[in-house]
Structure 1
Amino acid sequence: MTQSIDLREFDLFAFCRSGDTADGEVALRELPRILAETAAQAPASAPDERFRFQVHGMAREEAGEPGRAPVRRLFLDLSVEGSVWLNCQRCLEAYAEPVSTATRFEVVATEEEADAAPMDDDEVDVIAGSKRFSLLTLIEDEVLLALPVAPKHAVCESVHESLVTGADGQVEPEVEATPEEEKRPSPFAALANLKTKH
């Protein structure tokens, strides 16, 4: 069942137990940590750009230990799509980096349970639920995790003049030799001279 929820505060446990679904949009201006990552040269309309999200809760009964009642596990599926204006590290121009995430979370009762959960399951993250849970914070976390460490255009129209292509084909800062470095003998040349003396 699709329902309307308060993104800043809702009962996550009840949402998952009921198998509810919600979707909607969140403006960038509501996500201050993402706004802080936005390129200074982004369009003036950037804070009003929106992320689309869909969230679905579910409960799953699993057999407990012999002689004990079944265990009910709660899960939350969250997908987020949108874009963030970042500075390209090759041309230094602002560009819109697409963001598309889909994550399944297991919802546990406390932060201690979440911290103690094994980390060997790559398909499920564990989070602590709450009756006053902020979906905005979770959406913001997921967008931050999706941002590239080194943002770049797929193809740059030009490379910034302060950058040159290194020997490995990567764009690197240009380094000019100082007059002192130009006069200084190469250490390899000095080593070669030592070898010829023996």
Structure 2
Amino acid sequence: MKPRAFVPEKLDLAAFARDGASLDGEWPAATLERLADFGAPESPAEAWPAVRWSLHGEIRQPKGGAAQVWLHLAAQAHVALTCQRCLQPVEEALEVDRWIRFVDTEAEAAALDADSDDDVLALPRHLDARELIEDELLLALPLVPRHEACPEPLVHQDEAGAAEVEEERPNPFAKLAALKRGGSA
């Protein structure tokens, strides 16, 4: 019998798990548009290395329970984000390695996800693995991207420079007082 061909963008997850199948590949980072939107403007996603990923499905049969559909997802990406200290691009390595259990309904997924350390999702008719991988990479993004040590020192306005700026600008209340006295400003 000829093995089934699985397509990551329209994956029949139940059959994928029953067959114990695996898929892997690479996608250009720019094709993951939501991830690319987080990039630094100076370093577009077209310049990032390709996103590598792999999927493996399996059926687990717990004692005294129904068969369970599981998916192992692994993905690696290198992205350039904006450092929140110096506002320059900072490269971040993202890595995801996760097992996800799939159940029949959304309600069952919500109940099990709340009570379990495992990630639990409702089993779709067809899974878009590209979307799931992108979701997991987005969750792996750092909350505050920043360099360990910024490559350029931050520009601070020294106190003398700030005082000079204040002297150049006339005090609006002094102008108002001069107008009230009948003089010109």
- TM class, shorter-chain normalised? 0.7 to 0.9
**1:162 deviation in Å?**
5.1
Alignment match, 2:53: 53
Provide structure 1 residue ranges, at least 5 long, that are not aligned to the other structure.
65-69, 165-175, 180-198
Q: How does 1:51-130 map onto structure 2 within 5 Å?
A: 51-64=51-64, 70-122=65-117, 124-130=118-124
Partner SS, residue 9 of structure 2: coil
- 1:146 aligned partner, one-letter code: A
Looking at secondary structure, tell me which structure has more strand per residue.
1
Alignment match, 1:139: 133
Alignment match, 1:171: none
Does structure 1 conserve the Cα–Cα contact (< 8 Å) formed by 2:82 and 2:88? yes
- 1:117 aligned partner, one-letter code: L
Provide structure 2 residue ranges, at least 5 long, that are not aligned to the other structure.
167-185
Across the aligned residues of Structure 1 and Structure 2, the Cα RMSD in angstroms comes to: 2.6
> Counterparts of 1:3 and 1:82 in 2: how far apart (Å)?
28
Q: Call closer, same or farther: CA 1:99–1:162 in 2, change over 3 Å.
A: farther
- Structure 1 runs, 4 residues or longer, greater than 6 Å off: 176-179
- 1:150 aligned partner, one-letter code: V
Looking at secondary structure, tell me which structure has more helix per residue.
2
- Structure with the greater alpha carbon radius of gyration: 2
Does structure 2 conserve the Cα–Cα contact (< 8 Å) formed by 1:111 and 1:127? yes
Partner SS, residue 37 of structure 2: helix
Alignment match, 1:5: 6
Does structure 1 conserve the Cα–Cα contact (< 8 Å) formed by 2:6 and 2:16? no
Partner SS, residue 25 of structure 1: strand
Alignment match, 1:158: 152
**1:159 deviation in Å?**
3.1
- 1:14 aligned partner, one-letter code: A
Partner SS, residue 98 of structure 2: strand
**1:44 deviation in Å?**
6.9
Partner SS, residue 60 of structure 2: strand
Does structure 1 conserve the Cα–Cα contact (< 8 Å) formed by 2:25 and 2:52? yes
Does structure 1 conserve the Cα–Cα contact (< 8 Å) formed by 2:36 and 2:45? no
- 1:22 aligned partner, one-letter code: L
Say how many residue pairs are matched. Answer: 160
Alignment match, 1:31: 32
TM-score by length of 1: 0.71
Does structure 2 conserve the Cα–Cα contact (< 8 Å) formed by 1:105 and 1:127? yes
**1:3 deviation in Å?**
7.6
**1:35 deviation in Å?**
1.4
1:155-174 deviation digits (Å, cap 9, x = unpaired): 3222331599xxxxxxxxxx
